[in-house]
Structures are given as structure tokens and as C-alpha cells.
Amino acid sequence: MHWTDGRRSIYPIAHLRRHSPSAEARELREELERNPLAVLPTSATNDAPLTAVDAELVGTYAVRIRFSDGHDTGIYSWDYLRSIDPAAEETGDA
């Protein structure tokens, strides 16, 4: 993704799925923070390669991604995508 300020962001599919803004994924991340030994749902431990099956714009403010594991309820706003930029997370520039 190319941002208007010149920054370029590359999002691995697994990173986008792990950071899904859906309520279900948010609750799972919170549970893992509270209890690192929590058991992940079966779909989260599937050995098949995770892919993005489809993506659609949601108005002018977001994108919805459908993943090969069936997950499609997260709406990634542009602000949220910027905040989860893998390169920015590494450098603290989010």
C-alpha cells in the first residue's frame, strides 16, 4: 500500500488475519494476552496455507478481506491498516 505521505506498507496475509479488527479476533487476542496458554480455535491452527480469497472496498474508508479459512467479518479501515503496518511495528513508527 502506498500512503499519501510517501510511506509504503507491505502486509503479509497472516499478519492481516492475525490483526483482524473483527470482534471475534479482538476477543481472541485479548484472551491470549491474559492467558498465553489458551487453546486456539481449530481454524487458527490449520496447516493449509492461508490466502486472501477476496477483498472489497467498504465505502471510501476501509477494505473487507475474505480469507481462505472462511474469516471475512473484519473491516480494515485505512487508519487501522496504518496502525498495524508491520514495518512501523518493528520501528515504533505506527
* pLDDT digit string, tens, across residues 18-51: 999 999 889 988 999 999 888 777 655 557 799 9
pTM of the model: 0.79
For residue 54, with 0-12 CB atoms within 10 Å meaning exposed, 13-18 middle and 19 or more buried, which class applies?
A: exposed
Is 13 a residue whose pLDDT tops 90?
A: yes
With beta carbons less than 8 A apart as the criterion, state whether 43 and 70 touch.
Answer: yes
Residue 87's φ and ψ, nearest 5 degrees, are -65, -40
Which CATH number fits the domain 13-91, given the four candidates 1.10.150, 3.30.1600, 3.30.2020, 3.30.1380? 3.30.2020
Q: Calculate what percentage of the chain has a pLDDT beyond 70.
A: 88
Is 89 a residue whose pLDDT tops 80?
A: no
* Measured distance CA(5)–CA(43) in Å, rounded: 37
Q: What is the structure's pLDDT at 73?
A: 92
Q: How far is CA 76 from the centre of its chain?
A: 8
Every domain of the chain and the residues it spans = 13-91
Mean pLDDT of the chain: 88
* Measured distance CA(26)–CA(40) in Å, rounded: 13
